[in-house]
Amino acid sequence: MSNLSVAKRMFLNTLSNYGLLLFNMISMIILVRVQFTGLSRQDYGFWGLLWTIFGYSLLLDFGLGTAVQKYASQVTVNKNWDRFNRLVSTVFFSYWFISLIIIAATVIISFFIEPISKLEPGSDVDYYRKVFLLFGFGTALIFPVGFSPGLLRGIQLIWLRNNIDAVFAVINLIVMVWLIKSGYGLWEMTIATVLNHVGSKIVMLIYAFIKLENMKIGFRFFSPSMIKEVMGFSIFVYLIICSKLIIFKTDNLVISASIGVAFVAYYQVASKLGDVFRSFAMQFNDNLGPVASVMHTSGDLDSLGRMQLYSSRVIAFISTMMLVPLVVFVGPLFETWLDLTRTESQICAVILLVSQYFYVVMRSSSIQILLMCDRQKELAIVSVIECLANLLISVILVRMMGIIGVAIGTLVPNIFFGCVYNVPTACRFAKVSPLYFLRYSVLGSLMTGLVIGAVTLFLKDTVYHLIVSGVLNIAADKDAGMIARYFAEHSGILKLLALVFLSALSCGMYMILFYAIGIKKQERTDLNKLVADFFNKKLKGSS
């Protein structure tokens, strides 16, 4: 496959990722409102508790889903179907064993559902226990087919996986809204949720069988000897996942234990902004693992090195474009969104955004590629050490600097291990010097970002206030129109719309400037061809 065709597939997959992400956010906003207003506070809280408890069942995956993705990528190159079928069948039946663990845990926890959920006096405890059992058994039923998205991702059909997810997400939204509006409760919502998730995973599995024509899953292929080989990879993936979970999720515990739970709220909003940034910035990364696995398996190390440079450059472009408006408008955003004016929350948000930016740009692509190139052991060691360093620095600094110290505790190990391990390793893979890597992958985006950042700061100090004060002044006129009067009464919405408009303007200016000065002539030509081919295909499909 040529570099241009690989780039085209990655481009389409990334667009598909962003489309699904946008739809899921809109769907979440609608669904949360319908559930929050249509259910009792106890039912809504219990529904959230179910997702929290069974969300931890994902840790029982033990990295097997990532292993399946790797094997699917490899078999498209080496055609070793016998080994692949034994590996996938071993994973599949291992998942059934894990499902039995989930069922046993569900039954045990169900006996303690009343003290765990602290139901109101007079509540029907048996009803909530039955809902809990149904949700747990449903989770166990979903688990064995939960690796099917990894199969599609492994053979670089991310767009197909996203299309299936989107269809079932639409069905879920319609059914959930109908159930709640019709007066149904948690029991019916749980049945609909389980059927929806099982259905989507089975459809993905069917497509995987179609695309991987020689794939077979059966108990006769189950191989106990394969468990050791699979776990030899997946257990290190599991350590990496757990380490990242600790890094991103334990800050609140450190703050609560050290300076009080009240300060968690101020840190939480800052970390949420960083989480949203990381989620949006890393959609391109979904492509890297499968492509890297194919190149590594085929021995095309030169292409793998070029892919390392190319992916880092694309990720730097996307991340810098998003970072600029978030950093500049963090103050007005917090004030408008949450009526929060605490300086320490804003400082934490900037520190965590910079930390996430460094991770996404300088580390995330190399982690994806190294993972598919059998470097999982050293990645796991680095992740565990970073996790411990993060925890230690946060505990020390939280008493000296409050929540800002916890944010610094996240930033410092991230930058240190990125500079000591990830960047040098990425350079060795790409066979370039660190200076060339930074100049090629990051410098163009960073310089463009600094210029647009200065322009955006000017927009914040002038245009933003001009828009808000201008509309409010118009609304003060007794002859003002209905829209102006609405914004006068809801100035928060006006400010939020102004921020969205100026952020979009900032991103637009960034893309134009980067297109003009941030890429070479040949890259501009390739990009034009890529975009033209995409829209020509869309036009032909609609005619």
- Model confidence pLDDT, tens digit, residues 356-411: 999 888 888 777 777 767 677 888 888 889 888 988 998 899 888 888 998 899 89
- Minimal CA–CA distance to 70: which of 312, 308, 369? 369
Contact 326, 352 (CB under 8 A): no
State the pLDDT at residue 195: 92
CA distance 245 to 268: 15
State the pLDDT at residue 12: 73
Q: Helix 186-211 and helix 125-142: axis angle, to 10°? A: 0
Instruction: Kindly state the DSSP code that residue 61 receives in the 8-state scheme.
Output: G
Q: What is the largest CA-CA distance in the chain?
A: 81
Owner of token pair 């410098």: 443
- Minimal CA–CA distance to 423: which of 438, 409, 445, 408? 438
CA distance 126 to 124: 6
Contact 406, 255 (CB under 8 A): yes
Output the six-digit token pair for 495.
């400010």
State the pLDDT at residue 98: 82
State the pLDDT at residue 415: 92
CB count in 10 Å sphere of residue 104: 12
- Minimal CA–CA distance to 89: which of 211, 203, 219? 219
State the pLDDT at residue 287: 64
Phi/psi class of residue 229: alpha, beta or left (left: φ > 0; alpha: ψ in -120 to 50)? alpha
State the pLDDT at residue 543: 52
Cα atoms in the Cβ-side hemisphere of radius 13 Å centred on 499: 20
CB count in 10 Å sphere of residue 459: 24
- Minimal CA–CA distance to 211: which of 137, 153, 297? 153
CA distance 470 to 464: 10
pTM greater than 0.95 (yes/no):
no
CA distances 258 to 110, 253, 267, 345, 412, Å, are 33, 8, 13, 17, 20
Low-confidence ranges of the chain (pLDDT < 70): 1-11, 29, 52-63, 116-118, 231-233, 248-249, 252-253, 261-262, 265, 285-301, 304, 338, 372, 374, 465, 468-494, 530-531, 533-543
